[in-house]
């Protein structure tokens, strides 16, 4: 039996494992895909908003020739951090449920990539799952068409195509700019009166220039309300509706964390914000010995927690576990 099982091998899960290791606690990370899968899903050429220093975990220096590191640099860095600390990671193994047993320990039921099921046991469990598996669906006719995606990797496949980008955040702006560079005709549709105030300051003037040059057709206070195989319907705030010729739709409307594991373990959820109950000074949930780390601790707004803040959750958790008796019956 491990002292701690950590579910999720993102930066916050890795950080939690390192901090537990520092406290002399045995730990295992279970990851349904592979290490930092969420960062792998970022756009190929994405540049972080944070400096490399703010992305560091476990005292491993993150060196970069750029003021703000890129996705590919982060993938290398987190692989190196995990290897340097010799973290035990069970990759391609998905946790189905977390069960608290009568003796206060936990049974973590999993399925591996071959379909084999097993149960692992631990005195404590940390749920550090990310949020890239559940896009925020718009709920409109045609959203299920093959031409629609909630993920953007790179622009090359859209060369010369008519692409509608839904959203006004950094991801939408970055995608629109990359699409322009490969010769795509870009319509960007956003419900707000202006794009997000949080757009990277070095990107905003470039984006605004592309809009002024009509390289990007920006539709503000507008919504896509229907998608067909060759067009999209855009409803504007004044009541006007227009149909735009279209080949592909990038619905970059954000993601939300999955609460299934929390629910399986009996964690109380806030009905309004869909936020788990936990003590912010220890990250322990209402279930003794079960902790949350990273974005899973946020409400419906996944932007409440970033790598630079979530990486600190691991120390809070490890410190608390260390101060408790490792015998679960003392907590039950």
Helix axes 11-22, 313-323, angle to 10 degrees: 30
The stretches of the chain forming alpha helices (DSSP H) are: 11-22, 37-40, 71-84, 170-181, 204-212, 260-265, 307-310, 313-323
- Distance CA(140)–CA(1), nearest Å, equals 47
- Distance CA(242)–CA(252), nearest Å, equals 21
Q: Which residue has the tokens 């010729």?
A: 245
- C-beta separation of 57 from 11 below 8 A: yes
Q: Kindly report the number of other CB atoms within 10 A of residue 213's CB atom.
A: 9
User: How high is the pLDDT of residue 213?
Assistant: 95
pTM equals 0.86
C-alpha distance across the termini of the chain, in Å: 18
Per-residue pLDDT of the chain (332 residues; tens, 9 = 90+): 999 999 999 999 999 999 999 999 999 999 999 999 999 989 999 989 889 999 999 999 999 999 899 999 999 999 999 999 999 999 999 999 999 999 999 999 999 999 999 999 999 999 999 777 778 899 999 999 999 999 999 999 999 999 999 999 999 999 999 999 999 999 999 999 999 888 988 899 999 999 999 999 999 999 999 999 999 999 998 889 999 999 999 999 988 777 788 888 889 887 655 688 899 999 999 999 999 999 888 866 555 556 887 889 999 999 999 988 554 544 54
Which residues touch 164 (CB under 8 Å, ≥6 apart)?
Answer: 186, 187, 188, 189, 224, 232, 244, 246, 248, 249, 250
Kindly list the domain boundaries of the chain, sorted by start residue.
2-133+255-330, 148-251
- Distance CA(206)–CA(172), nearest Å, equals 14
User: How high is the pLDDT of residue 330?
Assistant: 46
35 three-state secondary structure: coil
Picking from 5, 48, 2, the residue whose alpha carbon sits closest to that of residue 261 is 5
User: How high is the pLDDT of residue 95?
Assistant: 96
- Distance CA(55)–CA(74), nearest Å, equals 8
Q: Report the CATH architecture of 148-251.
A: 3-Layer(bba) Sandwich (3.50)
- Distance CA(218)–CA(250), nearest Å, equals 14
User: How high is the pLDDT of residue 327?
Assistant: 46
Domains 2-133+255-330 and 148-251 share a fold: yes
- Distance CA(258)–CA(32), nearest Å, equals 13
Hey, which bits of the chain come out as E strands? 2-7, 27-31, 89-91, 93-100, 106-112, 117-127, 148-149, 162-166, 185-189, 216-219, 222-228, 231-236, 241-245, 248-251, 290-292
Q: Which residue has the tokens 């594991």?
A: 261
Multiple choice CATH, 2-133+255-330, 3.40.50.970, 3.50.50.60, 3.30.1360.20, 3.40.30.10: 3.50.50.60
């Amino acid at each position: 039996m491990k002292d701690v099982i950590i579910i999720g091998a993102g930066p916050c899960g890795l950080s939690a494992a390192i901090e537990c290791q520092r406290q002399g606690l045995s730990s295992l990370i279970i990851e349904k895909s592979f290490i930092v899968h969420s960062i792998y899903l970022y756009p190929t050429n994405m540049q972080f908003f944070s400096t490399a220093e703010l992305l560091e975990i476990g005292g491993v220096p993150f060196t970069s020739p750029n003021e703000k590191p890129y996705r590919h640099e982060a993938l290398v860095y987190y692989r190196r951090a995990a290897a340097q600390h010799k973290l035990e990671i069970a990759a391609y193994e998905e946790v189905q449920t977390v069960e608290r047993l009568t003796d206060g320990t936990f049974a973590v039921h999993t399925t591996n990539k071959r379909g084999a099921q097993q149960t692992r046991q631990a005195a404590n469990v940390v749920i550090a799952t990310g949020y890239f598996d559940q896009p925020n669906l718009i709920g409109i006719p045609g959203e299920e068409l093959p031409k629609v995606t909630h993920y953007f990797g790179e622009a090359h496949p859209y060369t010369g195509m008519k692409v509608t980008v839904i959203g006004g955040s950094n991801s939408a702006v970055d995608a629109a700019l990359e699409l322009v560079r490969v010769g795509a005709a870009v319509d960007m549709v956003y419900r707000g009166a202006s794009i997000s105030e949080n757009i990277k300051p070095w990107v905003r003037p470039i984006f605004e220039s592309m809009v002024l040059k009509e390289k990007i057709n920006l539709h503000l206070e507008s919504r896509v309300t229907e998608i067909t195989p060759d067009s999209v319907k855009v409803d504007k705030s004044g009541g006007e509706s227009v149909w735009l010729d279209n080949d592909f739709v990038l619905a970059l409307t954000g993601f939300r964390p999955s609460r299934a594991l929390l629910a399986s373990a009996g964690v109380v959820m806030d009905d309004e914000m869909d936020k788990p109950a936990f003590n912010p000074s220890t990250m322990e949930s209402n279930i003794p010995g079960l902790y949350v780390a990273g974005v899973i601790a946020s409400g419906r707004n996944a932007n409440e927690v970033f790598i630079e803040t979530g990486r600190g959750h691991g120390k809070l958790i490890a410190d608390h576990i260390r101060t408790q008796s490792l015998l679960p019956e003392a907590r039950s």
